[in-house]
Amino acid sequence: MPEKAMEGLDRRGFMTASIATAGAAAGLAGNAGPAKAQDASASGGPRGTLYTGDVVDGKKVVSRLDVDDLAPGQRHLLYFQGVETPTGQHWYVSVTVVKGAKPGKRGVLVSGVHGDEMSSVHTVQTVMNQLNPAEMSGVVTAVTDVSRPAMESMQRRWPNAGRGADLIDMNREWPGNENGVTAVSRHAALLFNRLLRPNADFAIDFHTGTTGFEVAAFNIAGMDAPEVKAMVELYPVGQIFDNHVYPGVLHNAFMDVGIPSFTPEIGAARVLDVKMIDLFVEGTMNVLKHYGVVAGPMGRTGKDVSVFVGNSAFPILAAAGGLVEHLVKLNDKIEAGQKVAVQRNSFGEVVAEYTSGVAGVITGQRSDAMAEPGDPLAFILFNKATQEGVETYPE
C-alpha cells in the first residue's frame, strides 16, 4: 500500500496545493526514502514494474512496467493504469507483452492514439498473434487502445472534461506532462515515461487516415535517420512521406530521446482494410527479423514494390461549399496542372475546379462528399526542392 500511495503522490505534484494531499505527503515522507533513491539513480526516469494490487478481468494492473521483470518465454496480458478520470477511476490501457525465451532487442508497437483508426489496432493485434515467445530473442510490447475515451466513441480526439467538453488531439501532446493541465497531457506522460519509453529500443506508432479523409498505404518517417530508414524500407508499401512533420506526435517524442521510430498510415479510418493491413503486418514482421527478435526469411519489402518517396504533401483545400467529386484515385500519378476534383453547389452547378500545383502521387483524399471552404480535399505527395517550416498532415 505505501508503494501505491506514493506512486499516486508522485503523479500528483500538481495537487500539492491541496491540504489533504500535502498532509498525506508529509506522512509518507518517512517510508518513501529507498524507493525514491532508486528512482533517482536510474537514467531516463524511474524503472521497475509497479503492480497496483488491482486485478481487472483477470489481468494484473501496473502503473509502471519494466519488461525485464516479466518471465521469459511467455505472453503477458496486463492493464496499465492511465490517467485518473472525473469519477476517480482510471483509464486502463491494454498491454500485451510477448517476451522471448532469449534476450534481445525490445520493440514497442502502439495503436489507438487516435480513437477512430481501427486498421492500426488490427495490424498490431495480428503481429502480436503471430509471435511465439518460445522461439523469440527479445521482447515486443503492444498497446492497442492508448486514447481510451476517444476509442469508446470511435472518434479521433479525446473528449477532455476539464473545462467543459474539449476535443483534444492526443497526437499533438507527446511526450506529455505528468503535471499537465489536461488529462490528455497527463495520460500521454504516464504512458510515455512509465510504459513506452523504458521498454523500447525501437518503436512504431500505427495510424490510419481520419474520419472523412482516407489515405493510401504509406509511412511517415525521417529518412535521414539510418535506423529509421532501414525499418521503413522493409515495408512493401508504395509511398514514403520523408518528413519530420510536427512536434507533439508520438514518433517524434521517441526520436527526441534516441529511440528510432516512425508512423505507418493504413488506409481509411473506422474500417478494417484487411489487404492493406497484411502489407503492414509483413513489414513489421520484417522489422522484427531485422532486429533479430524473430527468426526466419524476410517477406516482401520496399524492393518488391514500386515506392514513391516524397518530402512534402501538397494540400488541396476546398474553396467553396458543396459536393466534391474526385477525378483521380489514391496512388494515382498526377501532373502539375492536372484537374483532380470538381465541386457542385446545391443546384448542381460547378462552383469550383481543383488542379494540382505539383507533380506527385495522391496520398490522401476526402471521403466525405460534402465539404466546406478550408476542408482538405486531397494531399499530393511530391518532392520540394527546399523544406520550409513544418508540414501539417492529419495523420
Residues near Zn ion, by CB under 5 A: 114, 117, 207, 395
* DSSP label of 192: I
Nearer to Zn ion, 62 or 151 (CB): 151
CB of residue 346 vs Zn ion: minimum separation in angstroms? 32
CB of residue 48 vs Zn ion: minimum separation in angstroms? 31
Write the single-letter amino acid at 222. Answer: G
Nearer to Zn ion, 117 or 145 (CB): 117
CB of residue 209 vs Zn ion: minimum separation in angstroms? 8
Nearer to Zn ion, 207 or 366 (CB): 207
CB of residue 33 vs Zn ion: minimum separation in angstroms? 43
CB of residue 215 vs Zn ion: minimum separation in angstroms? 10
Nearer to Zn ion, 114 or 186 (CB): 114
Distance CA 173, CA 249 (A): 7
Nearer to Zn ion, 70 or 266 (CB): 266
Give the sheet arrangement for strand 350-355, strand by strand.
350-355, 339-344, 322-326, 370-371
Nearer to Zn ion, 188 or 328 (CB): 188
Q: Which of 280, 249, 251 is nearest to 267 (CA)?
A: 280
Buried b (16+ CB within 10 A) or exposed e, 55-84: eeeeeebbbbbbbeebeeeeebebbbbbbb
| 334 Cβ contact partners less than 8 Å away, ≥ 6 residues apart | 328, 340, 356, 358, 359, 360, 361, 362, 380
Distance CA 362, CA 343 (A): 18
CB of residue 250 vs Zn ion: minimum separation in angstroms? 10
